[in-house]
Amino acid sequence: MYEKSKVVELCQKIEKEGLVKGTWGNVSIKDNEKVYITPSGYPYDKMKEEDIMVIDLQGNVLEGFRTPSSEYKLHLAIYKKRDDVNTVIHTHPTYASIVSLVKEYIPPLIEDGVMICGERINVARYGEPGSWDLANKAVEALGKNNAVILKNHGLVTVGENEVEALTTSIVAEKTAHIYVEALKIGEISELSEEDAKKLRYKYLTSYRQKR
Ligand SMILES: [Zn+2]
């Protein structure tokens, strides 16, 4: 039950942060072989622990009386590829979505974004929502980073726990906002590849929040 309450709490937080509108977006937490995931098309402000679905890594429903999120394949594909990841958050924030329309990635710009999201935030090639195609393209573009933007769609962030995944969502959207605004006023001064690598390394080896 502990994981279910953490999923409910994440739903409240992504809504409060303005990362989703309506019922779009989805959240999951993995615990061993079980994935606790939001139900499809259910309002975040009404979400209770009993609404959270439990599925296995093949997508079979183990517990719950609703339908798992239509993006469950995206969540499973990430968990299968990244054994350091225990939380996946998919949202539809404004600025990450804008970037997805005009750029192939966000270059290394600001300290916090590079540290927690990765040296750059890639935009995955377009895939139909809810498909394995979208899931595989997202995993490919995510690589070893903690954030990836879905083309003409939204944002996915991951973390070793729910705190890291949520902070990554907030920082990734802030980075996208900064990028969109900076593009309007002049030439962007990116961090060098070397400086970006150093920041990410520092985060992974000493800053990372533990459970
Ligand atoms: Zn979506």
Q: Are 46 and 25 in contact (CB under 8 A)?
A: no
| Model confidence pLDDT, tens digit, residues 32-41 | 999 999 999 9
Residue 198 CA to ligand 1 centre (angstroms): 32
Residue 191 CA to ligand 1 centre (angstroms): 30
What does the pLDDT average to over 162-178? 97
CATH code, domain carrying 38: 3.40.225.10
Q: Are 172 and 147 in contact (CB under 8 A)?
A: yes
| Model confidence pLDDT, tens digit, residues 125-157 | 999 999 999 999 999 999 999 999 999 999 999
Residue 49 CA to ligand 1 centre (angstroms): 22
Q: What is the mean pLDDT of the chain?
A: 96
Catalytic residue among 71, 160, 162, 173: 71
Instruction: State the DSSP string of the chain.
Output: -HHHHHHHHHHHHHHHTTS--TT--EEEEEETTEEEEPBTT--GGG--GGG-EEEETT--EEE-SS-B-TTHHHHHHHHHH-TT--EEEEE--HHHHHHHHH-SEEPS-SHHHHHHH-SSEEEEPP--TTSHHHHHHHHHHHTTSSEEEETTTEEEEEESSHHHHHHHHHHHHHHHHHHHHHHHHS---PPPHHHHHHHHHHIIIIIPPP-
What is the CB neighbour count within 10 angstroms for residue 39? 18
Q: Which domain, by its residues, includes 92?
A: 2-207
Domains identified in the chain, total number: 1
The residue that leads in pLDDT, 193 or 23, is 193
Q: Are 114 and 138 in contact (CB under 8 A)?
A: no
Asked about 160 being catalytic, the answer comes back as: no
Residue 85 CA to ligand 1 centre (angstroms): 19
Question: Does position 113 have pLDDT exceeding 80, yes or no?
Answer: yes
Task: Specify burial of residue 53 (Cβ count, 10 A radius: 0-12, 13-18, 19+).
Answer: buried
What does the pLDDT average to over 57-73? 97
Question: Does position 100 have pLDDT exceeding 50, yes or no?
Answer: yes
Residue 128 CA to ligand 1 centre (angstroms): 10
